[in-house]
Structure 1
């Protein structure tokens, strides 16, 4: 999923820093008990950064220095700096990416963790989930006419051939999440012939129309170029919030929501402030902001949701086997690629 780079007062985004803080040019910072500094590495969107960071700064008096880049790039940076870390907190990225890099994060369970929804609490001892994003179908309400789209099965309608937008599951994390979601929803697991048969039929109906990225997929529906897109909830809800001619369909066969996570960097020089940040992103104020000011799915119980967001009790939720998917991602992508190649 593409992430925007945020630039705003009191938060420094430095590509020079990313280029110059490698293992050969480590920077040492001496923290004090009265430190009012926090270095945050984040792949998050501009909307999240520009809302949550200033709220945290105002409430705590702590000034955030932000380094913004893609999740993979930031994790590589953290690995290269682990003998002398510059960052205090990693804010964003999928839970599986944190699981794959346990050596660069340190143990911390926030006292606010007990307020999170069951299934999203910090069971690892170091990973704090703060929002979740689900795989959805975005539909253009002006183009849909009398075509019914309530779930994955409806996307096989011949009337939709060549009119469904999607990114490439082999290169887009959101498209890969859609792939595993539909395998689970349509086949019951990730290996069944029924699930993979559905994938083959769907991509035949997509008719080779693969978008350049996840952003291009949902934008093409909002712009009226395609009837439907396989995409994710956050940008879809932003279109609904801005009253675009779209609607969000949560597949009736089941929707998977995957957590975005945060953790304290091992060896943090401002660890007390890092703990305050982790506490804050799952506080009532921040979680209400995610759900009512932004277009993200909060994970704290009894949080506010904007009218443009659908209540979880109205969505058929199914649970991803993240352990299996993490271990078998290469095989899943290969099978998809073989199918896609065979129908081109």
Structure 2
């Protein structure tokens, strides 16, 4: 009898062990283990806007690893045969597209709400967009009107304008990209006419070319310069915080918007959880929070922004070919540097 009981007990333990293993494997495939590993290139502010509420709503625990875009993408490359991450939040659309082989295709049901030009592209989803703007110190600008790039050639502004160096600053290179789109013939993404404008602009900037993006908007807000070529997020942050001596101008010639990417990592062990995270980031609630609680702009048609940001429908949008821009970047930077060096 003891031998029979021992045999039955051993059989039961083997069965339970097998059943647990089968259950664990199923959980790994379906995401039922309630875990998600998130790689992100974004700020703590943005992550805190999304992750805590996602965890509370779904019960899924999120483990976060942050780093620069290049660093994170290299890590994903090295882990391709045994992925450690489930989702990547951050990096530019163009950079993500160039590494699309690392990601798992997924189109969220929320795609029907996304603005044209920012919809799902294979494995690449876009969740927010940013743009270049002109920041004005109203105490220093006087009666000079600035509605766009052309107004920056006003001789009265000579030496009062500041920009970062497009060879060192992504925000300055974004302005260069925007200028190429605005001053080139329709269907073109750069032109002699656009470069003629760059030369004239640098002459009016008169040497105020800084190495730091943040130094530009801080310099305008602090009263060192009347006008700065900067980007939307920090510029609108000053307005949100109550700075009434500054104005954010969206160029009347046209504004190029660049998307930030959100992807599921290929080979994820938590696919269902990853899909839930994509859906959550593209939900109306989170897309609205980007523009109301922060100074970011969602990609949903119905996304709202706070009073510190201009509604998208009031901004003249223009487009460019980001693949072309990527191919031309080195050439443009070299030409820009030559113009900066030889400015009158």
Q: Which residue of 2 aligns with 1:299?
A: 299
Q: Which residue of 2 aligns with 1:163?
A: 160
Identify which range, 330-339 or 192-201, moves more after superposition.
330-339
* CA displacement at 1:207 relative to structure 2: 1.9
Q: Which residue of 2 aligns with 1:133?
A: 130
* CA displacement at 1:73 relative to structure 2: 1.6
Partner SS for 1:86:
coil
Partner SS for 2:140:
coil
Q: Which residue of 2 aligns with 1:16?
A: none
Q: Which residue of 2 aligns with 1:337?
A: 337
8 Å contact kept, 1:95–1:260: yes
For 1:108 and 1:334, how far apart are their aligned partners in 2? Answer: 39
What per-residue deviation string (whole Å, max 9, x for no partner) do you get for residues 208-259 of structure 1? Answer: 2222321221121122221111111111111111111211101111111111
* CA displacement at 1:264 relative to structure 2: 0.8
Q: Which residue of 2 aligns with 1:205?
A: 204
For 2:45 and 2:267, how far apart are their aligned partners in 1? Answer: 29
Task: Provide the aligned C-alpha RMSD in A.
Answer: 1.6
For 2:169 and 2:125, how far apart are their aligned partners in 1? Answer: 24
For 1:192-341, list aligned pairs within 5 A: 192-244=191-243, 245-341=245-341
* CA displacement at 1:101 relative to structure 2: 0.8
* CA displacement at 1:97 relative to structure 2: 0.5
8 Å contact kept, 1:282–1:300: yes
* CA displacement at 1:128 relative to structure 2: 0.8
For 1:94 and 1:196, how far apart are their aligned partners in 2? Answer: 25
Q: Which has the larger radius of gyration?
A: 2
8 Å contact kept, 1:136–1:250: yes
Partner SS for 1:142:
helix
For 1:216 and 1:73, how far apart are their aligned partners in 2? Answer: 25
Q: Which residue of 2 aligns with 1:74?
A: 72
* CA displacement at 1:269 relative to structure 2: 2.0
8 Å contact kept, 2:189–2:321: no
8 Å contact kept, 2:163–2:230: yes
Is 1:143 aligned to 2:116, yes or no? no
For 2:170 and 2:116, how far apart are their aligned partners in 1? Answer: 25
Runs of 4+ in structure 1 over 6 Å off: none
Q: Which residue of 1 aligns with 2:38?
A: 40
TM-score, reference length from structure 1 = 0.87
| Structure 2 residues not aligned, in runs of 5+ | 1-26
8 Å contact kept, 1:136–1:233: yes
* Aligned mate of 2:174, from 168, 174, 177: 177
TM-score, reference length from structure 2 = 0.87
For 2:209 and 2:278, how far apart are their aligned partners in 1? Answer: 38
8 Å contact kept, 1:187–1:196: no
* CA displacement at 1:64 relative to structure 2: 1.4
